[in-house]
Structure 1
């Protein structure tokens, strides 16, 4: 281990790593994302309510929170989703997130590894995840602009169990230095899926995957998607904040909410041959359970866990993950759900703007309110 690394509670990476535009951008993202988390407010998860049935609850000891993701069995149906990497600060955060993941058995994704593919000196800011969590389930992360060979390199860099391909045209459009050539992305995704030695998840970055997009991805051979909708960290706002001219101020709140993306992907029938993950705007265990009840196999959490880590340290994050685990089990018990599958039989009310949008997109909301049989 490098002499610039300390234990899991202190800084591990030399700040000199940040003397390049890639690392500076990563630090900007961390700072601006934390600022959004501090201002977190109502989102579409609040348009969803469970119908309470007093005598349908089951014993908490009988509840099984296990789920299957990318061919692996997870004990918990939520995970630390993609955040960062590629700078000294990002490397420190990844080391601490991995420490918490290892202590709790939670799966974890890194942020985009493009910086490390371009600059070998940044590789340790990602591989620190495996150093601190050698046995956990880890997602590698690239975008559709890389070659299949680079995608495989990213997987091998981490000894990853699966690969996230992030699709982020909105972020790229607003980013001053962003890519603008989107037309080749479907073909590139298909090529990466064919070359990758591990399962591939295609993930939005907070703007939602529409049903036609999920259907297209299924036709390209993708087996799992993370719908990652609006409601959490907004990368249009972040990239606009990095621009001196703030030219794209009107892009705030672009896209589909996480709830709307789940509703359209599963109703009137689920898109065949593809599994759903959900992230974007997840603030509590109740949000986790709502997403699971709408068809997600597991739920990714980024902003809340990052804010907990920066405010309370690794120990605080470990405690929070344990609290969420207990509360997810308690909520499933109240809903009469012994397993993840049972959550799909819960009655749910959709109200507000989400109801208006879902109705326009053909979702049968009354049926969702009468699922218990």
Structure 2
């Protein structure tokens, strides 16, 4: 195969042309190589003037593009508070966590670098981290976060937590009648009164990991014999508990119960052991088009102000610096990386027990 060259045959003019083209190509390659770590250097900067530099440059950028799975009732107050504080617009796109990760990964693979920050559940953040979409960042508020919720690679940071526990209808079930551990729900009196969310495989994996396979699988085999009402969606399961159609939901997020409870609905939540905890968090794109605004937004979310806002909305914050009653119990913190690696195994077990029965 004959090779072609952009340099013509040697002559004085062609030599000058070749030298110019070589220099231009070298500059282009250098720019390409340097573009990638530019944001990473910014993200890790710790100088004394960091905060002012961030603010000044973020205001020049004018906007931060955020993809999130936060509900509008939560993302709205959060982004409005940031905009009011810093005068920087948040361009928000919201969907469920799976679609958030799908869009982010698809765009990154296609070389469309549109997003600055992604806020969603840890397992989907982990999927994106494995695609090398995120870059590690420094924030003075990271020191306040729960160490158990921080991933080993530090490619994203936890900003809130989800706790899976028991929701019950307060008109149908008395709190004192609820068992202290999940094994108590194997009592025949609970048959026909309990429900599960159809996709809560992490609950199965977490309990088996905590109790050991023998005890854990004995419980789940017994629970399958109770034939719980399996429904798709935590919101639906929560609504069914409120209506009394499903008096007790065994796998309900504490944050799902808070809005109804605060509005006077007959629902409450209790930390039946073991409580399975999952981190949710924020990651910053390596190729973010507005990196200063992205980092400033992450600072805000992880700050006592942002974390306090999460708490006020019924979302357990990841910061130890924010006093909250939303997580004052023992829990088992799941590792999103392990969840991903073992998901196929536990999905087969879950489906055999509760779906394909």
TM-score class, shorter-chain normalisation, is under 0.3
User: TM-score if structure 2 supplies the norm length?
Assistant: 0.26
User: TM-score if structure 1 supplies the norm length?
Assistant: 0.25
Larger % of strand: which? 2
| Structure with greater Cα Rg | 2
